[in-house]
Each structure stands twice: as C-alpha cells, then as structure tokens.
Amino acid sequence: MDKNTIIEQVGKKIAEEILNEPGRKISADESLISSGLIDSFSLVDLALIAEDLYGVQIDDAELSADIFDTLNQLAELILERS
C-alpha cells in the first residue's frame, strides 16, 4: 500500500459517502475541514472510512483538523499505523 493509493481511495470515499458527489476529485493537499468542505460531524465518518479500509485505529481525541485536514495528513497517519 502506498501513499498515493490511500489518497485516491480515501478521496473517492469522501466524495461518494460524505459529500455525495461521486465524480468529485479531492487533491492531496486540499483542506477538508478548515475550508469547510466537510464539517466536524463528518470527522467520525472519515475515521470510520480509514478504519474500515485499512484496519487502523483512530482515537476520538485525534479527530481534529490538525490531523485530518488533508488527504496527505490522513494517508501519513494510516501508513504509520499499518
């Protein structure tokens, strides 16, 4: 599993399941939370996507824009834990 694959897969899931925009492309450095693309309530959904796809555990305390604001950040977290 490589970082680009994670970014592509998670970006696709966010577009389909959180944004309800299946054709939307999310770039690796696009701000998800601080830009308002997704709201804080969707952080739990984002964590569940990462857990379901990659089997990584994400603590509730980690559900913040500091850790999850870009697909790059999320991919790095997944790689560290897998």
pLDDT band at 82 (very low <50, low <70, confident <90, very high): confident
Of 20, 19, 21, 22, give the one whose Cα is nearest residue 32: 19
Look up the pTM and report it. 0.91
| Domains parsed from the chain with CATH numbers | 3-81 (1.10.1200.10)
Q: In 3-state terms, what secondary structure has residue 29?
A: coil
Task: Encode pLDDT of 13-60 as tens digits.
Answer: 999 999 999 999 999 999 999 899 998 889 889 999 999 999 999 988
pLDDT at residue 41, rounded to an integer: 85
Q: Residue 64 pLDDT more than 90? A: no
